A = this chain, B = another copy of it.
Amino acid sequence: MKDQTVELLKEYGINPTSQRVRIYDYLASGQGHPTVDEIYAVLQRDGHLFSRATVYNTVNLFLEKGLIHNVKVEANETRYDITSAFHAHFKCTSCGALFDIEMEEPLMADTAGFRVDRTSLVFSGQCPVCQAKAAEV
C-alpha cells in the first residue's frame, strides 16, 4: 500500500483500509473520470476481488469527507474526480467523452444569504474530434 495515500486518508479522518487505499490510488492515477462500475471492474481485473458495495461505500465516504467530487451529466452516469483546484467539465454529446476545462470558478452573482460549498460547471456540446468527423461526411 502506498504510504502517501495512507497518510492522506488519515489526514481526512478516514481509516485507511487496503480497499480504500486501492480505490483512492485508482482515482488518483488519472484514468479520466471513472464510474463506480469502472472502478469495480478494474480492481476486479487486477485481482483485488471485493464487492461493488464497498466501492459505493468508499466513494460516498470520500465524497462526504471532501476528498473527491462527482460529476453528473447523463442520468445513470455518475463519475468521480479527485479534488483539486476548481475546474469545469466539458461533456461531448456525440462521443460521450468528459474533459477537464481549466478556468476560474464562477461566483454566484448575488449570494443573498446562500452559503455556497461547491460549484459544478458543465459545458456540453461537441468536441473538436467529433466536429471534424461530422464535417467529413
Q: Contact residues of A with B, CB < 8 Å?
A: 72-73, 75, 78, 88, 90, 93, 99, 101-104, 106, 108-110, 112-128, 131
Contacts and interface: CB of A to CB of B under 8 A. Distances in A.
A126 B113 CA distance: 9
A104 B101 CA distance: 19
Number of copies of this kind of chain in the complex: 2
A119 B109 contact: no
A113 B128 contact: yes
A124 B131 contact: no
Contact of A125 (B109, B110, B114): B114
B118 A125 contact: yes
Given A120-B122, A122-B120, A109 B104 contact: yes
A112 B88 contact: no
Contacts of A119: 121-124
A99 B110 CA distance: 13
A131 B106 contact: no
A125 B117 contact: yes
Contacts of A90: 108, 114, 116
